[in-house]
Structure 1
Amino acid sequence: MDGPHAPDRSIGTIGLTFVAVGGVVGSGVLFAPLFAAQQAGPAAIIAWPIAGLMLVTVALVYAEISAMLPVVGGLGLLPTYSHGQGVGIAIGWVAWVGYVTAAPIETQAMLEYASNEPAFDWLFVAGAASDGESALSLPGIAAATVVLVAFTGLNAFGVALFTRINSALTWVKLVIPVAIAVALLTRFSTAPIRETGFAPEGMTGVLSAITTGGVVFAFLGFRHALDLAGEARRPQVTIPVALVGGILICTVLFTLLQLGFVGAVDPAELDSGWAGLDKGGANGPLAALLSGLGMTVLAKLVVADAVLGPFGAGLVSTASTGRLTVAVAQNGLFPRALSAFSRHGVPMRAMVLNLVVGLALLLAFRDGWSELLSYNSGAIVLSMCLGPVTVMALRHQVPDRVRPFRLHAVSVMARVAFVVITLIIYWTGWETMVKLTIPIAVGVAVLAWRVLRDPQLRGSLALGSLVWLGPYYAGALLLTFLGRFGGGRDVLPAGVDMVVVTVFALALFEWGVRSALPAADAAALVATVPPVRAS
């Protein structure tokens, strides 16, 4: 192994953009049009642009700080520069809990789609339930192990090879859904819309599609580009284009698919309304629609895409989880040795750790892996809350630092982004958020152990900058308990809950910004990252 901080800057604009797109477009793209339509009917078409615009505000906030500080594992490391090591450890740990579950989830999703073909039904125990509850057979566990090892092996030869493979996979993952959308649009009919009206559930249905329909969560894969930002060429251009461009590309793709799906539904299937639409079998609604229209070749392509999608997403998540592990190690929670890069410019030690943890999770959750999805989505959303606070704090702390990408109206955009993230946390629901208390408690125990072994770490935590995160998590937890999503008690009425969450978010945003490090301390930390010239 070479030195601890020696990544290669070999990812170009297209490569990093495809990292963002590859993280968004997975197997979920095949079911997303149905789930959104069940909630909103034809109005699901506008749910995707609305959610895309919401996430663009978050991406723009991260674009400024990532272009200014293009570091490896940005999601976990960037808050350190504004709020110190304690906040960096807290956010990095929560993010890692979500990230490390991604590759096992994608692996099982890929194998479950493959098992729909009779030749691969041996991957799962006969008669096991579906929808994330299938039990892998012993040969299936062996196959999953091979896939996880392949993710790490393909990443081991350097980021240049990874981006070439990922770009090729992403082209396929884009071309197939676009071809499906175009094919469906050639059979587009307004009959389904006339049958029920464009928005049978009104804006409540659109909001439900964005939340419980999974629209907003589909876009969160853009975060992978943040973690590889430290390896981007011309970060002042590459990072903003990748973050925002990735979301916009996926917005257009999902909107076209939704439009094609809505126009191809047989009105006879809407006797029970859009909520009563069937899932379309094991291969999903798109394959069922295409088969019903006689497009059998495209239906087979859907199945192929269902396998390629999770494989590409698993490859991306393995790369980004390795970089995030480096950030956690640099902050001091994990052993510093894990931040070392190999001669290929890859954090091999970190990826091996993640592989071992992934294999353990695969075995532990082989009979009910859908629970991993809760940790994945909840932890990742929670870990993104520091972006808007960090960008605002750094504007005050290091106003003269060169900002290759400077966000206009940053005080407004940062607050909007923080509200968006807090709303997403609220939409995640009580059952998901309460489960996060377990890994958070484990993180506290690990940190206590590290402090006992390294007393110097205790003095560098900047606890004054960390305190506000406790009330933020507790408040978000209380709101999900009182809310109407994911097992909440439905105490807060619809509409009122959004106002309450917004007011809470704005109050905690101010506390978070005011809790930042003194300017001199932040400037010293920022100075350790070489400035990037503005273009």
Structure 2
Amino acid sequence: MTDTSAAPSPGPATEDRRPDAGLHKALGFWSLLAAGLGSVIGSGWLFSSLYAAQDAGPAALLAWVIGGALMLLVALVFAELGMAKPESGGLVRYPQYSHGGLTAGIVGWAMWISYVGNPPTEAAGVVQYAAVYLPGVYDGKSLTGLGIVIAVVLMAAFVALNWFGVLLFARSNTVVTAIKILIPTTTVVLLIASGFDSGNVTDHGGVAPYGWSAALSTIATAGMVFAYTGFRNVVELSGEAKDPRRTVPRALITTIVVTIVLYLGLQLAFLGAVPAGMLGGGWDGVNFDSPFANLAMILGLSWLSWTLIADSMLSPSGSGIVYTAANARNVFGLAKNGFFPGSLTTLNTRGVPARALVLNFVVGLAYLLPLPSWHSIISVTGSIAAFTFQIGAVSLIAFRASGLTRHDTRLRGMTVIAPAAFVVSSLVVFWTSWSKLWIGMVIIGLGIVWYAVVWLRSDRAVSELVGGTWLVVYLVGLTILSALGSFGGAHLIAAPWDSVVVAAFALATYIWGARSGTAYMTARPEMVRRLRADADLDRGDAPEPARQAHSMVSRAFPRGS
């Protein structure tokens, strides 16, 4: 069999035949930061504080801290990857380079499934808040038929704004993001100043009325992972960034730090603003259609309430626009990997992967019918999204060991940060209740089946499967441990020992995965040489002689070699 570790991919008829060559490198630091913050500050801030309080009470504050710390670790990993090899759709391309098609297929499928659910989630969030002034769109539990129609129209608008190019997307999103930061910040200040009751944090069952395990579970199931995940869109758009070696890591880290502070403030403000009279049945009995807007009205801040209603259209829509852009690049990357048809790498005249936009829109519609509410979509996609954080850590170590990264594209402390990111990500997935985790694992399993079909129908090397064996074992092992553990499982392994076992298993798997990736890349020096040349071009580092050399390398070692 021919080794297809770097699958062929069609591109424009230019000297540089890479599909990325048609993308416009127009995004600076502020545009990338707006993309990150614009993704993170979506419908998550409007709803997550409510659902986290319902599940965990005041202990939700701990969940936000753990979730934020995890995201900071993961962001640092992806920051170095984005510096080393800036590429649109990079989140699914990096595992292709480091471990081959099976690993990239599993991670790419999981990422696509979680990402493609975002625009319908954001659209559902807009409609749910709109129920205040549009009767008949939300019945208290799910969207009505009219609500679904409005959500579909919103999703189509997200696609339209992305269709006409990355510059229009960046300019519109930067303005929207500035407003989106101002409104939740104002909400925190006014709710704390107007009606904060510190007794809500210590009374009514105490700080952890449902146990600390509930706080850990809520990281994935109450929308926290969803709320933070948008930072990765900075990496997805890195192939269209100017000076990505500087702008990508700065935008990533700034996004995470700002949002950790903001979400902690929002959760604290929500906990203190809920009237004590509503807590007689406990935190799980608290329910609002439009959480912060309803609280503002109760406190007599009617102008803030209506401002929040207006922002409920702006914040989710801005996030939906960014995710629509990023997931089109995700499909673009999967098509370059050979996981999806190569036709999905086709760009329109404005340098946008238009066919990928259409595919995601159609698939996104399928979320709204069986899962017609914000919370119902999040509860399914949360654990899948959390799983996709791990792969960056093992890919990065393989990049370093193979010599793909350079001294000026390395961050300090990564030998500790990378395994910590992998282990903590694994724990977040494990802490998801078994009743929700098994559904996510079944969905990921469907991606493995699809990759098997692709592998059998194409001329791919057995080494593609060997490079991904560690990940299949990891998924099976994590599923078994969840079934046996205390987070909705059989309780055959009691807390906290089940988490200790998962952490040890994750660390062992990380070592296996890093060694597997290193062996995979070391065995392909021609691929590493081409990737290094590509990275120099993408970063704009290569002088003209190097560009000519890159063309010679590309001809000598084409992508299918």
Instruction: Tell whether 2:257 aligns with 1:278.
Output: no
Using the TM superposition, give the Cα deviation of residue 496 of structure 1 relative to its aligned residue in structure 2, in angstroms: 1.3
For 1:98-113, what aligned pairs fall within 5 Å after superposition? 98-113=114-129
Which residue is equivalent to 1:165? 172
TM-score normalised to the size of structure 1? 0.88
Using the TM superposition, give the Cα deviation of residue 190 of structure 1 relative to its aligned residue in structure 2, in angstroms: 3.7
Tell me the distance in 1 between the aligned counterparts of 2:56 and 2:365: 38
Give yes or no for contact 2:136–2:144 (8 Å, CA) kept in 1: no
Question: The residue matched to 1:152 in structure 2 has which SS?
Answer: helix
Using the aligned pairs only, state the percent identity.
36
Which residue is equivalent to 1:74? 90
Using the TM superposition, give the Cα deviation of residue 344 of structure 1 relative to its aligned residue in structure 2, in angstroms: 1.3
Give yes or no for contact 2:140–2:289 (8 Å, CA) kept in 1: no
Which residue is equivalent to 2:303? 297
Which residue is equivalent to 1:393? 398
Question: The residue matched to 2:228 in structure 1 has which SS?
Answer: helix
What letter is aligned with 2:493? L
Q: 2:316 aligns with which of 310, 318, 321?
A: 310
Unaligned runs of 5+ in 1: none
Give yes or no for contact 1:158–1:345 (8 Å, CA) kept in 2: yes
Give yes or no for contact 1:325–1:350 (8 Å, CA) kept in 2: yes
Q: 1:447 to 1:121 in 2, by over 3 A?
A: same
Which residue is equivalent to 2:7? none
Give yes or no for contact 1:195–1:267 (8 Å, CA) kept in 2: no
Give yes or no for contact 1:483–1:497 (8 Å, CA) kept in 2: yes
For 1:14-163, what aligned pairs fall within 5 Å after superposition? 14-38=30-54, 41-42=57-58, 44-45=60-61, 47-117=63-133, 120-123=134-137, 128=139, 130=141, 133-137=142-146, 140-163=147-170
For 1:330-369, what aligned pairs fall within 5 Å after superposition? 330-362=336-368, 364-365=369-370
Tell me the distance in 1 between the aligned counterparts of 2:122 and 2:223: 17
Using the TM superposition, give the Cα deviation of residue 109 of structure 1 relative to its aligned residue in structure 2, in angstroms: 2.3
Using the TM superposition, give the Cα deviation of residue 428 of structure 1 relative to its aligned residue in structure 2, in angstroms: 2.7
Using the TM superposition, give the Cα deviation of residue 215 of structure 1 relative to its aligned residue in structure 2, in angstroms: 3.6
Tell me the distance in 2 between the aligned counterparts of 1:61 and 1:320: 19
What letter is aligned with 1:233? K
Tell me the distance in 1 between the aligned counterparts of 2:381 and 2:395: 23
Question: The residue matched to 1:134 in structure 2 has which SS?
Answer: coil
What letter is aligned with 1:355? F
Question: The residue matched to 1:71 in structure 2 has which SS?
Answer: coil
What's the CA shift string for 1:394-437, capped at 9, x where partnerless? 111116x3254422122211110001110121123323332234
Tell me the distance in 2 between the aligned counterparts of 1:294 and 1:129: 23
Instruction: Tell whether 2:212 aligns with 1:240.
Output: no
Tell me the distance in 2 between the aligned counterparts of 1:448 and 1:270: 52
Tell me the distance in 2 between the aligned counterparts of 1:145 and 1:243: 30
What letter is aligned with 1:477? T
Which residue is equivalent to 1:510? 511
Using the TM superposition, give the Cα deviation of residue 59 of structure 1 relative to its aligned residue in structure 2, in angstroms: 0.7
Which residue is equivalent to 1:409? 413
Using the TM superposition, give the Cα deviation of residue 338 of structure 1 relative to its aligned residue in structure 2, in angstroms: 0.9
Q: 1:480 aligns with which of 469, 479, 482?
A: 482
Tell me the distance in 1 between the aligned counterparts of 2:523 and 2:489: 44
Give yes or no for contact 2:223–2:379 (8 Å, CA) kept in 1: no
Question: The residue matched to 2:248 in structure 1 has which SS?
Answer: helix
Give yes or no for contact 1:85–1:460 (8 Å, CA) kept in 2: no
Moved more, 197-206 or 443-452: 197-206
Q: 1:313 to 1:415 in 2, by over 3 A?
A: same
What letter is aligned with 1:258? Q
Give yes or no for contact 1:199–1:205 (8 Å, CA) kept in 2: no
Q: 1:476 to 1:159 in 2, by over 3 A?
A: same
Using the TM superposition, give the Cα deviation of residue 199 of structure 1 relative to its aligned residue in structure 2, in angstroms: 3.4
Tell me the distance in 2 between the aligned counterparts of 1:105 and 1:61: 27
What's the CA shift string for 1:471-521, capped at 9, x where partnerless? 111011112222333x43333322212211110100100110111114151
What letter is aligned with 1:238? T
Tell me the distance in 1 between the aligned counterparts of 2:46 and 2:102: 40
Tell me the distance in 1 between the aligned counterparts of 2:124 and 2:148: 9
Tell me the distance in 1 between the aligned counterparts of 2:49 and 2:35: 23
TM-score normalised to the size of structure 2? 0.84
Tell me the distance in 2 between the aligned counterparts of 1:208 and 1:384: 17
Give yes or no for contact 2:65–2:264 (8 Å, CA) kept in 1: yes
Q: 1:272 to 1:449 in 2, by over 3 A?
A: closer
Tell me the distance in 1 between the aligned counterparts of 2:440 and 2:280: 40
Tell me the distance in 2 between the aligned counterparts of 1:212 and 1:443: 22
Give yes or no for contact 1:136–1:366 (8 Å, CA) kept in 2: no
Which residue is equivalent to 1:199? 207
Q: 1:237 to 1:206 in 2, by over 3 A?
A: same
Which residue is equivalent to 1:186? 193
For 1:249-268, what aligned pairs fall within 5 Å after superposition? 249-268=258-277
Which residue is equivalent to 2:467? 465
Tell me the distance in 2 between the aligned counterparts of 1:265 and 1:111: 23
Give yes or no for contact 2:119–2:155 (8 Å, CA) kept in 1: yes
Instruction: Tell whether 2:225 aligns with 1:225.
Output: no
Using the TM superposition, give the Cα deviation of residue 204 of structure 1 relative to its aligned residue in structure 2, in angstroms: 5.7
What letter is aligned with 1:316? V
Which residue is equivalent to 1:426? 430
Tell me the distance in 2 between the aligned counterparts of 1:258 and 1:113: 18
* Count of aligned pairs: 517
Using the TM superposition, give the Cα deviation of residue 390 of structure 1 relative to its aligned residue in structure 2, in angstroms: 0.8
Tell me the distance in 2 between the aligned counterparts of 1:59 and 1:218: 14
Tell me the distance in 2 between the aligned counterparts of 1:438 and 1:251: 31
Question: The residue matched to 1:31 in structure 2 has which SS?
Answer: helix
Q: 1:90 to 1:529 in 2, by over 3 A?
A: farther
Give 4+ residue runs of structure 1 displaced > 6 Å after superposition.
Answer: none
Using the TM superposition, give the Cα deviation of residue 154 of structure 1 relative to its aligned residue in structure 2, in angstroms: 0.3
